[in-house]
Amino acid sequence: MESKSFPLSTIAPGCSLSATGTLVFGAGYVGSRVAQWARQRYPGQPVYVVTRSRAKAAAWSRQGFLPVVADWNDGRTLEELPECGRVLVAVSFDARAGYSREESMVGGLGRLLTRLPPEADLVYLSTTGVYHQTDGSWVDETSPTRPVGPGGRAHLRAEELLHRLRPSGRWVILRLAGIYGPGRLPRAKDILAGRPIEGPNQGFLNLIHRDDAAAAVLAAWDQPDRKHRLYLVSDDSPVPRRRFYEELARCLRCPPPTFVSGHSGNLSARSSSDKRIWNRRVRQELLPRLLFPDYLRGLPHCLQCLASGSH
């Protein structure tokens, strides 16, 4: 039941397909999906995929994409980037690279922006981790941001850099909620193994299916008259943590999960968050229809893909 074709119905009317070429800088879980759909959405236009790995570049080449081996931590590797009309920046922090989050996520973006054509239509994937609220309140694009986790702080600094370096450029920031989808179900391994879930069972989870996140990227490119530069990308149904994991256990045919207090610093920072994402702006302007408007529709799709071996 894998949704392999790009869902045109998720994009609001009035889109434009005039830009030539797509550059996906960071072809991870969401970026890979965007690359696949961009080839369908913009037939006859090249799709370049940036990776640090030569082995992954060879794999992309075998699939018919145009791989580029580059690392934004090394500005020299960015000198030969192709000029494209559409650019996705979807780089995840990799501690193994030997750089701090600030050096990589902020410094790397700064180096990349100096190499991109000023007229490029850029989408930057950020995170709802920039919000600090812990009282279950609703947050939107106008809510204050005082991130407590290192990831949220780095993304917020990168957003500020984008504002500063491209004040009149064409770009949009998508702050993504927790991403799930085929091959990525939070805590599924713990539930299958019968291990307690580390962290609180209270508070809200805000989720977005991988395919809806990818659709939001293409929708942002395809809206020439979009009103805003910032969108929160989350599904329609913030869900209490316990309810989500109980439903996941039911779908996996496992006993209901148990919970224990967490001791990991990063886990504690994530789990202490308790907010509800209001997705009104993205639903009105970019995605009038979500493929998976809530976890009750998304989880069966993920498990069907797991059973079929597709991703």
Domains and CATH numbers, the chain: 8-181+207-238+272-292 (3.40.50.720)
pLDDT score recorded for residue 26: 94
pLDDT score recorded for residue 264: 52
Q: How far apart are CA 132 and CA 275, in angstroms?
A: 8
pLDDT per residue as tens digits for the range 172-216:
999 999 999 999 998 999 999 999 998 888 899 999 999 999 999
Strand partners, 184: 181
Q: What is the enclosing helix (H) or strand (E) of 307?
A: helix 295-308
pLDDT per residue as tens digits for the range 118-173:
999 999 999 999 999 999 999 999 999 999 999 999 999 999 999 999 998 899 99
Confidence band of 99 (pLDDT split at 50, 70, 90)? confident
Share of the chain above pLDDT 90, in %: 74
Sheet holding 47-51: strands in order across? Answer: 66-69, 47-51, 22-25, 86-89, 121-127, 171-176, 230-233
State mean pLDDT over 232-253.
95
pLDDT per residue as tens digits for the range 46-72:
999 999 999 999 999 999 999 999 999
State mean pLDDT over 6-29.
76
Given a cut of 50, whether residue 43 has pLDDT beyond it is yes
Average pLDDT, the chain: 89
Task: Identify each DSSP E strand in 143-257 by its residue range.
Answer: 171-176, 178-180, 197-198, 204-205, 207-209, 230-233, 239-240
pLDDT per residue as tens digits for the range 294-305:
999 999 989 887
Given a cut of 80, whether residue 269 has pLDDT beyond it is no
Given a cut of 50, whether residue 268 has pLDDT beyond it is no
Claim: this prediction has a pTM higher than 0.75: yes
Q: How far apart are CA 200 and CA 202, in angstroms?
A: 5
> Letter for the amino acid at 122?
L
* Cα–Cα nearest to 208, from 279, 309, 132, 124: 279
State mean pLDDT over 279-290.
96
pLDDT per residue as tens digits for the range 81-92:
999 999 999 998
156 neighbors 145 (Cβ within 8 angstroms): yes
Given a cut of 80, whether residue 8 has pLDDT beyond it is no
pLDDT score recorded for residue 3: 55
